[in-house]
Amino acid sequence: MPVNPADGPILGTLYGSDPMRAVFDEQTYFQRMLDVEAALARVQARLGIIPADAADAIVAAAKVENLSTVDLAASARNVGYPVVGLVAGLSKAAGAAGAWSHWGATTQDIMDTATVLQVREGLDLIEAELRVILTALMTQANRHRDTVMAGRTHLQQALPTTFGLKCAIWAMPFIAHLERLAQLRTRVQIVEFSGAAGTLASLGDQGIPVMQALAAELGLHVPPAPWHVCRDGLAEAVNFLGLVGGTLAKIATDIVLLAQTEVGEAAEPYIAGRGQSSTMPQKRNPIASEYILAATRMVHALVPSMLGAMAQDHERGTGPWQTEALVLPQAFVLTHGALLHTRAIAEGMVVDPARMRANLDITHGLIVSEAVMMGLAPVLGRGEAHHVVKRACDRALADGISLADALQCDPAVASRLDRAAIEMLIDPANYLGSAHAFIDRVAAASERYHDRRRA
């Protein structure tokens, strides 16, 4: 009975994804805890701590279907944690060998390491989408490197740019996100094995060898000391998701603005019925962008909760630790859902170059007044050129004429530039600065990152 729309069978199609929900599903979590228990038994048998035949029986019994949901729920309700019931169920399924299960471990060891295994799998799904979106956006950047459009500041037309450059700027943070992800994995994908209070006293001098072997068995890194009350790694993972969400929200915001009827320069992929209104047949609402914005805002709201959960008291937190279980799955599910919406936009966006050009012409050349000023500056001096162009802009607005006509009426300009030269100055395509070079630089950065990954 899901109460969060992101987990429902109907509304969940809008907010999250089934693959990510499968990673953080409760049954999966219990299996991951059993995976940790099985790995612990294997390494302890190799180290001579428990009998090998006991380890074999524990490993064979470590299947979630061997646990009773009713018994687990009753135990968790009574104890406050799920591991006591889990170990009881595992021990029962393992028979006499069950007496050797969970040897030297504590509840948090099993739960934290299981969480890390989930986070690793969740990050794999996140990384896959980051890569696909980066590739799709750079494809759009190269496709539209010469598609001139109005650049906008404060929601007003400012100077010409290209849609290719806009896509390259959308793409650039994905390179940084992939780099961040590679770096944070070493700080997040770490085994947790501390024993009752962080000393592994119950294992004597074999505590650290068990910790190291358990990490190797699970493919995790080894911390210098237990991190049971050092929660920066998991907090960093959620903060990373918040950064990714910020990038997705920027793209969604731009798409929403570009798709406005009065602008109409770009829109989400067209699918029959997608974003339709129940009363207005003409509507094509930017529904994917809306859910990107909703999901990422929720992820951003979860980030402070994860940071607050770092305030763990002494050697076992009383409350902050439990907060993480409410935050992590939601943050991953919502981020992955937003990534899937963004991927659909990046791969299939509808771009209207003709409308971009028409919108450029709305100001009848005023958008490139800076270009005219810079073109006249070598002749008139920068200060005088500014005054001349400002005077021409005022006249164009007052008389309802183009900037080219207003400039031609000014003797200071007409005496130096013929009509063809004026038209060259006010052509937006001739005032793109380093737009092409910037696209190439982002493309090169993307390729360098992929080359490093292949190496």
Is 154 annotated in the active site? yes
Q: At a CB cut-off of 8 Å and minimum separation 6, what does 155 contact?
A: 257
Q: At a CB cut-off of 8 Å and minimum separation 6, what does 416 contact?
A: 376, 379, 380
Q: Which of 142, 62, 160, 152 is nearest to 102 (CA)?
A: 62
- The backbone torsions φ and ψ at residue 162, rounded to the nearest 5 degrees and listed phi first, read -125, 150
For residue 21, the number of C-alpha atoms closer than 13 Å in the C-beta half-sphere is 16
Q: Which of 173, 162, 164 is nearest to 141 (CA)?
A: 164
Helix-strand-coil percent breakdown of the chain, rounded to 5?
70, 5, 25
Which amino acid would we find at residue 272? A
- The backbone torsions φ and ψ at residue 275, rounded to the nearest 5 degrees and listed phi first, read 70, 20
Q: What is the largest distance, in Å, between two alpha-carbon atoms of the chain?
A: 103
Instruction: Check if the beta carbon of residue 369 is closer than 8 Å to that of residue 389.
Output: yes
Query: In whole angstroms, what is the distance from residue 275 CA to residue 345 CA?
Result: 13
Q: What angle do CA 14, 20, 23 make, to 5 degrees?
A: 150
CA dihedral 191, 124, 83, 103 (to 10 degrees): -30
Q: What angle do CA 156, 359, 426 make, to 5 degrees?
A: 90
Which of 68, 202, 277, 434 is catalytic? The answer is 277
Is 68 annotated in the active site? no
Instruction: Check if the beta carbon of residue 407 is closer than 8 Å to that of residue 422.
Output: yes
Query: In whole angstroms, what is the distance from residue 8 CA to residue 131 CA?
Result: 28
Which of 75, 91, 144, 154 is catalytic? The answer is 154
Instruction: Check if the beta carbon of residue 217 is closer than 8 Å to that of residue 39.
Output: yes
DSSP assignment string, 259-296: TSTTT-SEEPPP-TTTT--SS-TT----HHHHHHHHHH
* Token duo for residue 370: 């800076």
**Could you tell me which residues are beta bridge partners of residue 149?**
161
Tell me the catalytic residues.
154, 277
